[in-house]
Amino acid sequence: MLAGCASGNVDPERILRDDFDRSTAIEMIQELEEPLMNFPLTGTITRTEFDTFQEQYTVFREDDGNWLKVFISANDEGNPMVSDLRIAEDNFVPTLFHQEIDIAEAYTEQLIYEEKNSERNHTNLYIIEEYSGTDEKMKGFSRTYHFSLTNGKEWKYEGFSGAANLAGEGYFRDYLSLKQED
Does the pLDDT value for residue 160 go beyond 80? yes
pLDDT tens readout for residues 58-85:
666 554 456 677 788 878 877 888 888 8
Q: With left for phi above 0 and alpha for psi between -120 and 50, is residue 151 left, alpha or beta?
A: left
Residue 60 lies in a domain: yes
Residue 5 lies in a domain: no
Q: Which residue has the higher pLDDT, 23 or 35?
A: 23
Question: Nearest 5°: phi and psi at 76?
Answer: -80, -45
Q: Which residue has the higher pLDDT, 54 or 109?
A: 109
Q: Which whole number is the average pLDDT over 123-148?
A: 96
Residue 181 lies in a domain: no
Q: Which residue has the higher pLDDT, 43 or 46?
A: 46
Residue 92 lies in a domain: yes
Rounded CA-CA distance 83/4 in Å is: 55
Our measurement of the distance from residue 39's CA atom to the centroid of its chain's CA atoms, rounded to an integer in Å, reads 16
Residue 66 lies in a domain: yes
**How many domains is the chain partitioned into structurally?**
1
Q: Which whole number is the average pLDDT over 11-17?
A: 94
Residue 57 lies in a domain: yes
Residue 172 lies in a domain: no
Structural domain of 63: 14-165
Q: Which whole number is the average pLDDT over 140-153?
A: 93
pLDDT at residue number 4: 47
20, 103 Cβ separation under 8 angstroms? no
pTM here?
0.84
Residues 6+ apart with CB under 8 A from 132: 100, 101, 102, 104
